[in-house]
Amino acid sequence: MADVVVALGERSYPIFINTGIIDKPATYEQYIEGSKVFIVTNEVVAPLYLDLVTKALAAYEVHTKILSDGEQYKRIATAETIFDSLIEQRCDRKTTVLALGGGVVGDIAGFVAACYQRGVPYIQVPTTLLSQVDSSVGGKTAVNHPMGKNMIGVFYQPRCVVADTNTLDTLNDREFKAGMAEVIKYGYIRDIEFLGWLEANIDKLLSRDKDTLAYAIQHSCQIKADVVAQDERETGLRAILNLGHTFGHAIEAATGYTQWLHGEAIGAGMAMAADLSHRIGWLSTQDNDRVVRLLECAGLPVKPPGGISPERFLELMSIDKKVDSGNVRLVLLPQLGQAELIADYDIGLLNQTLRHFST
């Protein structure tokens, strides 16, 4: 049985969260439509899990595309090489694309699946904490542009998500801590009790206690599934999932997608969003400090790297999917456990935040 269901009517799908499910044929067979499976993975994940998944898919004709690892490769040029391979292998509209890897692999494989022959089925098999709790869920697929993160993409839901928590055993500490940013985010935006639980259990999470981690993943996925079910295409409520992301995406773009991991940039971005929330009179000093303290306890950055001027920040933030009629809309915190997308904030206060974090 599914641990979480993303309820989207006829396009509803399960999220399976368990140990030792990545190599079981029964995990996949109900969600594969045709006779071919095309696995997209990368050079780090392939040596660890590609053989296990391939053996689980022994009943199918399996083809594989192994990508270079890194956010800098999440671009149109990489997607074109996947399209080339799909065509070369005579993959048709019933070919199932399987994304095996972290957020970059999942985003680009989903984007390719949405576009190839106007849409083929795909399955998400996330192998990082960040992808298990966030990017594999909800159907956002995209590639980056040098001027902006995820600027070219489409909403396209997978047939299922397979989150085998055993894959986190091979995740390095930096990637693991980056993934914690998205877990923590759910407490800030939607669930004050979960925030308190995270504060009480952060040490157990960082030590990768199996039961504690499984609960954090399941609860994070449930929160995201509930939000996506209400607002699949981000016309309103779903925007709250982007707390810190406008700031964070600017950090990633300014550093060429090579210096910081996505979760690290989002950690700093959430600290910046909390600071602005405090400046406009929403968060108290104590709650602002509480935001920063948990991020620090999780080993995440709470300020951007040096060298990004306030002017450069504003320039990059203006190239954001949440910009509306020239206004940079931001997700801020009226209080902990509640988030809101707003455009009518005082730009002078935003400049204060940018100056504060650029010194």
State pLDDT tens for residues 167-178: 999 999 999 999
Task: Respond yes or no: is residue 329 known to be catalytic.
Answer: no
Do 96 and 225 share a structural domain?
Answer: no
- CATH label of the domain that carries residue 119: 3.40.50.1970
State the Cα–Cα distance between residues 301 and 199, nearest whole angstrom: 17
Task: Respond yes or no: is residue 264 known to be catalytic.
Answer: no
pTM for the complete prediction? 0.94
128, 149, 170 - which closes a domain? 170
Pairing mode of beta strands 61-67, 36-42: parallel
Do 213 and 103 share a structural domain?
Answer: no
> Exactly one of 262, 279, 322, 329 is catalytic; which is it?
262
Average pLDDT over residues 182-188: 98
> Exactly one of 224, 278, 279, 321 is catalytic; which is it?
224
Average pLDDT over residues 237-252: 95
Do 211 and 126 share a structural domain?
Answer: no
124, 140, 170 - which closes a domain? 170
pLDDT for residue 146: 87
Task: Respond yes or no: is residue 278 known to be catalytic.
Answer: no
Do 166 and 177 share a structural domain?
Answer: no
Kindly report the average pLDDT of the chain as a whole number.
Answer: 95
* DSSP class per residue in 40-91: EEETTTIIIIIHHHHHHTTTSEEEEEEEPPSGGG-SHHHHHHHHHHHHHTT-
pLDDT for residue 319: 82
pLDDT for residue 92: 97
- Check pLDDT > 70 for residue 1: no
Task: Respond yes or no: is residue 140 known to be catalytic.
Answer: yes
Do 196 and 142 share a structural domain?
Answer: no
- Check pLDDT > 90 for residue 2: no
Domain residues for the domain of 115 are 4-170
Average pLDDT over residues 77-92: 98
- Check pLDDT > 70 for residue 26: yes
pLDDT for residue 201: 98
Average pLDDT over residues 204-232: 96
| pLDDT level of residue 336 (50, 70, 90 thresholds) | very high
Task: Respond yes or no: is residue 182 known to be catalytic.
Answer: yes
Domain count for the chain, please give it: 2
| pLDDT level of residue 147 (50, 70, 90 thresholds) | confident
Report the DSSP beta bridge partners of residue 148.
145
pLDDT for residue 303: 97
Task: Respond yes or no: is residue 10 known to be catalytic.
Answer: no
Task: Respond yes or no: is residue 145 known to be catalytic.
Answer: no
> Exactly one of 65, 140, 185, 279 is catalytic; which is it?
140
